[in-house]
Amino acid sequence: MKLLIKNGTVVLKDREVKADLLAEDGKIIKIADKISVKDKCEVIDAEGKHVVAGIIDMHVHLREPGFEGKEDILSGCRAAVAGGVTQVCCMPNTNPVCDNAVVVSYIKTRAQQAGLCKVNPIGAITRGQNGEELADIGKMKEAGAVAISDDGKPVDNSYIMRLAMEYADGFGLKCLCHCEDKNLVNGGVVNEGYNSTLCGLKGSLRAAEDIMISRDIALSESLDIPVHICHVSTYSGVALIKSAKSRGVKVTAETCPHYFILTDDIITGYDANTKVNPPVRERRDVEAIIRGLQDGTLDCIVTDHAPHSLKDKQVEYNLAAFGISGIETSFALSYTYLVKSGLLTLPQLMQKMSFAPAEILSVEGGELKEGAPADITVVDLSKKYVIDGNKFISKGKNTPFNGYEVYGAVEYTVVDGDIKYKSKA
Ligand code: DOR
Ligand code: ZN
Ligand code: ZN
């Protein structure tokens, strides 16, 4: 079956063009002015809308197996396509942990049954994410893992991290590093600073993140092996990555909408929807993260979609789970705060949300061009709406962005040429 997306503004890697786009057998076969199709064909009229490469969110938590009360693969994939996401990479902090080929295959099978977006499992670095013994990296790669990470937990032991980088590199996989010095965090739940004192909440220093970013950069540099830094939240972390990149270290890095939008003064001590790890920080961090996105220090925008149930969040701040349910709001928030405000162009934003993740993980997609998979999102940039977590498709309603007015509604999400989401409004 063919799919014709007509009259839209197509966002290519480095520019926007008014054009039609034709897909057939799951691939983009033509992008040109006024395409006419004689035989049977599905048509999307994108007049007044933008046609972008499907978002690739390389950092999400789908929670299945084990924590289906928070999210499962089906609900997570439904939320993903509603957010314009055509491909996700899911973190291994499930139960059992995704530290072997059986769990990798299970996730892939469940994703196929869901039949919505593409799902690439990320295998654990260590067995049970216990930081002690390496997981079955080669077998997980064979089963379809696209990277390894102990996300949710740091790998404390630097020698284990070294081994992980070497093994993973031997299989052509990257380590995605959750950078946190747990001893230094010492039970902190928010950024340590003026606001943590004001709220009487235990703080965590930027250094707890920066020390591990430094370590992982040092390992990467010494071994000459690529490394990827997850969810950068500190101005000083951005500086470390920038300086490493200037020396030619093969480091890539991601950040999330909450780190370039929120500051810790929104934390009051009772709404745990603001609780996330690493914590949201201060104005100078937000500014440095935006600059890092602009100058290429930060390669990509991910969500760290971390759905939790009400009972995990509606408790005292100290006891609440860390995490933000972000996959349904990432495009609109990023568009509103980065593009509409003039900080990035739309092609630049799509490089952060789609092209760069595909490159970093060597997965398909990430760009609208002839011959590429027809993973496409149609957005209405002029449509304004107010975020309401209770309306999320995800089981995780935990967002600190309730009441935020944003632009950029997802109208259609197309995966391999099939429409997987169509907005009701
Ligand atoms: O806020 C977070 N939530 N940070 C993490 O590292 C883990 C994640 C989760 O799994 O909930
Ligand atoms: Zn993490
Ligand atoms: Zn995570």
Ligand 1, atom 9, lies closest to the CA of: 306
CA dist., res. 395 & res. 182, Å (int):
29
List, as ranges, residues with CB under 5 A of the ion ligand 3.
151, 304
Would you call 304 a catalytic residue per the annotation?
Answer: yes
**What is the DSSP pairing of strand 251-255 with strand 300-301?**
parallel
CA dist., res. 281 & res. 277, Å (int):
11
CA dist., res. 379 & res. 420, Å (int):
14
Q: Which of 304, 300, 262 is nearest to 283 (CA)?
A: 262
Tell me the CA–centroid distance for residue 86 and ligand 1, in Å.
22
**What is the DSSP pairing of strand 376-386 with strand 405-415?**
antiparallel
8 A C-beta contact, residue 223 and residue 249:
no
Give me the helix-helix angle, 235-246 and 283-295, nearest 10°: 30
Give how far the C-alpha of residue 342 lies from the chain's centroid of Cα atoms, to the nearest Å. Answer: 22
Q: What are phi and psi of 54, to 5 degrees?
A: -55, 140
List, as ranges, residues with CB under 5 A of the ion ligand 2.
151, 178
Q: Which residues fall within 8 angstroms of residue 146, CB to CB, at 6 or more apart?
A: 89, 120, 121, 122, 173, 361, 362, 363
* Res 1: pLDDT: 87
Residue type, 207: A
- Ligand number nearest CA of 230 is 2
* Res 198: pLDDT: 96
* Res 385: pLDDT: 98
8 A C-beta contact, residue 160 and residue 177:
no
CA dist., res. 92 & res. 95, Å (int):
9
Q: What is the pTM (predicted TM-score) of this model?
A: 0.98
Sign, CA dihedral 378-290-388-415, equals positive
* Res 21: pLDDT: 98
CA torsion 239-289-216-356 (nearest 10°) is -120
* Res 71: pLDDT: 98
Q: Which of 230, 64, 83 is nearest to 152 (CA)?
A: 230
Q: How many CA atoms, within 13 angstroms, populate the side-chain half-sphere of residue 317?
A: 20
Tell me the CA–centroid distance for residue 93 and ligand 1, in Å.
9
Tell me the CA–centroid distance for residue 322 and ligand 1, in Å.
5
Distances (CA, A) of 331 to 71, 135, 143, 276, 303: 20, 34, 30, 19, 10
Which positions of the chain have pLDDT values less than 70?
Answer: none
CA dist., res. 33 & res. 92, Å (int):
44
Q: What are phi and psi of 311, to 5 degrees?
A: -70, -20
- Find tokens 């799902």 and name the residue: 119
Ligand 1, atom 7, lies closest to the CA of: 152
Ligand 1, atom 1, lies closest to the CA of: 323
State the burial class of residue 79 (Cβ atoms within 10 Å of its Cβ: 0-12, 13-18, 19+): buried
* Res 195: pLDDT: 97
Tell me the CA–centroid distance for residue 12 and ligand 2, in Å.
31
Tell me the CA–centroid distance for residue 231 and ligand 3, in Å.
8
Q: Which of 347, 420, 336, 314 is nearest to 380 (CA)?
A: 336
- Ligand number nearest CA of 88 is 3
Ligand 1, atom 3, lies closest to the CA of: 323
Ligand 1, atom 5, lies closest to the CA of: 152
- Measured from the Cα of 230, ligand 1's closest atom is 6
Residue type, 140: M
Ligand 1 neighbours (beta carbon < 6 A): 61, 93, 151-152, 178, 276-277, 306, 321-323
8 A C-beta contact, residue 318 and residue 202:
yes
CA dist., res. 385 & res. 398, Å (int):
18
CA dist., res. 307 & res. 180, Å (int):
21
Q: List the catalytic residue out of 150, 151, 285, 304.
A: 304
